[in-house]
Amino acid sequence: MDGDTKNSTYSKKIKKVSTDNYIECYIAEQNLVGVAIGAACRDRTVAFCSTFAAFFTRTFDQIRMGALSQKNINCVGSHAGVSIGEDGPSQMALEDLAMFRTIPGCTVFYPNDAVSCERACELEANTRGICFIRTSRPATVVIYNNEALFQVGKAQVVRENPGDKIVLIVAGITMHEGLKAADTLATNGIHVCVIDPYTIKPLDADTIRAHALRVGGKILTVEDHYPEGGIGETVACILSTDANITVKRLAVDEVPRSCPPEVLFEKYGNSSNCIVNAVYNLLQ
C-alpha cells in the first residue's frame, strides 16, 4: 500500500503480479499505516506500506501504537536525506532513522545497493515486529554479488586491510561517498576499514568493536540524516562503555536547502571530499 507516491517509491511494481495486491491509500499517511496494521492483523497478509521516508513522521503515533500492538508491518521510506536534491527539505527524510530506532522491537534496514535491498525486503517479510527500510532516490552502484547473503544484525565489512587506521561506517548514499573517499585515501597510502552496518537496529556492535580495536580505536560515521538519533549516535552509544574507542560523527547539522545533490553533500559534510578531510583530521 502507498500514499499516492507509488511511481516514486516503485511500490507500483507489485501491480504487475496482480492489481489485487496493491491498495491505494491516497495522500493520508496516518490511515496508510493504520490500514496496513489492520490488514496484517490475525496474520491475514504481509503488508508493505510505503511513502517518502519523511512522511512517515506524519504517522509516528500510529507506528508507536503499532509496536504496542505487536504488529508485523513493513514500512519502506524512499527519498532519504539531502541526496534527493532540488525538491528541498520538506521532502527530505533527516530524522527517520531516529524515529524508527525508538520503536521497540523494530528492525531498521539501510541497504546500500540493489542486491542488499532486495534481500532486506525478503528479510522484512519474515521478521516479526515493525520493520523499516530506508531507500534512496538516486541510482547508486551495485556493490554486492547477487549471491551475497545478508542477516539482520550482521554488518558487512566492505573494505579491509591490515594497515587500516580508521573504521568508516557508512550506509546508503554515504556508502558510495565513503568508498570513493577510501579509494582516494588509499592512493595516498592511508587505509580505512569500511563497514556497512546493513541494519542500524539491531546494530552489529561486535563486528564494529572488533575492527575498531584492530585499527587503534578511531571510528568515523557519516550519514545523510540529522546528527540526533541516527547512525552516529547508535554507534557512539553501543560503544559508550569502551574507553579506548572514539567516534567522530558527520551528519547534516542544519535545515538544508534546494539544490543539486552533489552540492548538498559537499555543503553538509557527506561528500567523499569531506570524508577524506575528516580522516586526515582524525589522524593528526
Partner 1 sequence: MTIDRLCPLICSMTQRKISDREPINIKKKISKMDSEKSKQLQIIADRLRIQSILATSASKSGHPSSCASMADILSVLFFHAMKYKVSAPKDPSSDRFILSKGHAAPILYAAWAEAGLFPKSELMNLRKIDSDLEGHPTPRLNFIDVATGSLGQGLSVAAGMAYVGKNIDKASYRTYCLIGDGESAEGSIWEAMHFAGHYKLDNLVAIFDVNRLGQSEPTALQHDVETYRKRADAFGFHAIVIDGHNIEEIVQAFDEAAATKGKPTAIIAKTFKGHGLDGVADHENWHGKPLGDKAASIVKNIEERIAGSNVPAPIAESPVEDAPVVSIINIRLSSAPAYKKGETVATRVAYGTALMKLAQNNSRVIGLDGDTKNSTYSEKIKKVSTDNYIECYIAEQNLVGVAIGAACRDRTVAFCSTFAAFFTRAFDQIRMGAISQTNINCVGSHAGVSIGEDGPSQMALEDLAMFRTIPGCTVFYPSDAVSCERACELAANTRGICFIRTSRPATVVMYDNEELFQVGKAKVVRENPGDKVVLIGAGITMHEGLKAADTLASNGIHVCVIDPFTIKPLDADTIRAHALRVGGKVLTVEDHYPEGGIGEAVASALSTDTNITVKRLAVNEVPRSGPPEALLEKYGISANCIVKAVYNLLQ
* Alpha-carbon torsion, ordered 62, 113, 148, 196, to 10 deg: -80
Cβ within 8 Å of residue 147, ≥6 positions away? none
Cβ within 8 Å of residue 112, ≥6 positions away? 140, 143, 171, 172, 175, 176, 196
Q: Please report which helix (H) or strand (E) contains residue 168, including its range.
A: strand 164-170
Q: Please report which helix (H) or strand (E) contains residue 107, including its range.
A: strand 107-109
Q: Does 257 bind partner 1 (CB under 8 A)?
A: yes
Q: Does 172 bind partner 1 (CB under 8 A)?
A: no
Q: Any catalytic annotation for residue 177?
A: no
* Number of residues near partner 1 (by CB under 8 A): 68
Q: How far is the CB of 25 from partner 1 (least distance, A)?
A: 8
Q: Indicate the residue among 64 and 186 with the shorter CB distance to partner 1.
A: 64
Alpha carbon distance 55, 27 (integer Å): 10
Q: How far is the CB of 149 from partner 1 (least distance, A)?
A: 28
Residue pair 168/192 in contact by the 8 Å Cβ criterion: yes
123 closest CA partner among 108, 137, 104, 136 = 108
Q: Indicate the residue among 179 and 247 with the shorter CB distance to partner 1.
A: 247
Q: Indicate the residue among 71 and 176 with the shorter CB distance to partner 1.
A: 71
Q: How far is the CB of 157 from partner 1 (least distance, A)?
A: 21
Alpha carbon distance 94, 83 (integer Å): 11
Q: Does 19 bind partner 1 (CB under 8 A)?
A: no
Applying CB under 8 A, the span of 140-148, 168-176, 191-199, 223-231 interacting with partner 1 comes to 223-231
Q: Which three cell numbers stand for residue 267?
A: 555543503
Q: Indicate the residue among 172 and 256 with the shorter CB distance to partner 1.
A: 256
Q: Does 27 bind partner 1 (CB under 8 A)?
A: yes
Residues that are catalytic? 29
User: Which residues in this chain contact partner 1 in the complex, by CB under 8 A?
Assistant: 2, 4-8, 12, 24, 26-31, 54-55, 57-58, 60-61, 64-65, 67-68, 85-91, 94-95, 98-99, 101-105, 201, 217, 226-229, 232-234, 236-237, 240-244, 246-249, 254-255, 257-260, 263, 267
